[in-house]
Chains A and B, each alone.
Chain A
Amino acid sequence: MLDGLSSNATVAKIRALHGKMLTKENYKEMLTKRSVPEIAEYLAATPRYRETLKDIDPMTVHRGFLETLLEKDNFDAYIRLCEFQQLNKDRFFDFLIEKNEIECVLMLINSINTGVDRSYLNELPGYIIKHTRLDLLELSRAGDFNQLMKLLRGTPYHKPLVRVPLSDDGTVDYTECERRLRTQYYSNIISEAEKAFPDSQSEEVVRMVKADIDFRNMINAYRMKAFFGFSGEQIKAHQIKISNIGKKLDSYYSLETADQMLEWLCRNVIFTEVTDSALIEVMMQRDKFRRLEHRIYRSFNAPVVLYAFVQLCDFETSNITHIIEGIRYGVDPSYIENNILIC
């Protein structure tokens, strides 16, 4: 069990790392660049990515590889933090490894469904291979869903996937697989937190994980209504369901139109009026961003601070990716600025 005081050093270390993260000014400076090499050069000069990007040649680096390196940097930071005070003895701290495993399994399911050969192996992030309990490379040998199930036997991912019905053409419902895997993922980290940490600590962790689930559900529900016209019942059936959470969202799922959902989100989540529906996700993410930063500064619980930090790192990578994409396609910098998460 993690002793509250013993993790203070990890909290301090995370705060120090957080202090190195890119700021609003960094993003603004990046927006003045004209090409990927310029962005790569800029990032390689920042204290945040100096070490990670020291061996790349900005003039020749591939955009995808640059993004992979940033993701690798975040993952390595997480591994280092977990090893720093041997926090990784608690299963809870495998949360990012498990998340990546799920992403890989989903990537493979998608690859099987679309029949695109090798795409799984091509996209598999090499840096996670040695950290996972799943043999991710061996999974690449799965040619269909049944073979995948055989390879997954004995792993935690077999049970949620085994009952997903297989269609005649050999494909499976990807969204259902995703829902089941993520439901199990969140249930696991909640139960691990409740098992491993004292009450006050686990309450804070669970509260944050539940907020994460609600956030994912709210965004998915809005997309289902706005882009696919799903009914309230259909939306509800596609949500991540964990006992005792998300009940307050029932009234949100049952709203008739996407506009009503938008208004509900403005009134109950972001507390700001948003007239442009395209901005609602950005606004919600900004709100989440602020809450996560608040956790980093206010909490003294290593699991809480680490969980928040990992998500902030994801936001940062997503911002950089947005900027790179925007610059590659010649998007107006002010438009990119409106769509990245800077607060």
Chain B
Amino acid sequence: MKYFRLIFPFILVCLSAIVWSCSDDDSVIESTEIFDRQAMLANWSDNIIIPAYQAFSTEVDALKSAVEAFETQPNEANLNTVRQEWEAAYIAWQNIAMFNIGPAETTFMRSFINTYPANVSSINTNISTGDYALQAANANDEQGFPALDYLLFGLADSDAQILEFYTSNVNSSKYITYLTELVNRINVIANQVVASWEGDYRDTFVNNSGAASNSSTNKLLNDWMFYYEVVFRNGKIGFPAGVFSEGSTLPQNVEAFYKKDLSKTLCLEALNAFQDFFNGEAFEGTTRGESLASYLHFLNTMKNGEDLSRIINNQFDLSRTAMSNLDDNFFNQINTNNNVMLVAFEELQASVVLLKSDMFSALSVAVEFESGDGD
């Protein structure tokens, strides 16, 4: 019976061990035999995320100055410069759209910058009345690149007629104002996000290296997956190709609908950015750091399993091939032969299986945010 006296202190010690272990302790263990998630987070932020944001911000600055020049001298040459800068910035955007974490999440960056199709009737009303609040959550389809797409390419059939909206139209000053405000708004959001990453957020992100559901890895990966499935696969291909709309295609929902021949470029850029992130490849570079691929590789050598990262990369390559077969203009592609769009969709789909089912399981990252108890 004398043991009993020891039982309560023993339980107490054990219970305090629980409390201690469960209070998110992010101590990093230095060892070559374990995969360092923090190094992966550092590679992501320092070599991919921050440079990509900075590049985007630079492009948006260029777009801003182009619009300012156009504002002072609304002529064809200046309009074309605005268009070129818009295109460059839109392409740069594809490299950061997948990172909806931290400042991008709190500013609703993705929603405000690239919600399409643009709501043309709201935009027209906004311009004519001058009564709008771009910060409102439901104004997300009245701004960003899709709205600019409409203002720069969709106001009329010919370039000369489009230019007239900014020159001889009775509301020309209102058109210029709206154009300027849209660009400024992108600029403000971009600056905010870049400032935050260049400031404190980088360390917050890298130091939150645990494995809990709110750790950087889990949060970013869950959203990264959501981006791939919904924003990328469905948004760029699935929705316009009618995959979710009971057999009827919705070609007017392609990205960059008014520019017409940019949809494929944007789609390919997004795929490349996504794959580079998987491989931990530096932005605009070729060096690779710790990444999902190296993490999988690390885990695989331990279990002598299949080389999952190679299988995933192969599938990305197959998707790229399927996508290269498409017309530069997805709107045309859907109207002439939607089947190749569906083929591309299926290839993108196959990656979802590998990422969501195999990769998440192998990394032991829960495919969900806060969940309840388990068994």
- Does A associate with B in a complex? no
Listed in ascending order, the chain A residues whose CB lies under 8 Å from chain B are none
Listed in ascending order, the chain B residues whose CB lies under 8 Å from chain A are none
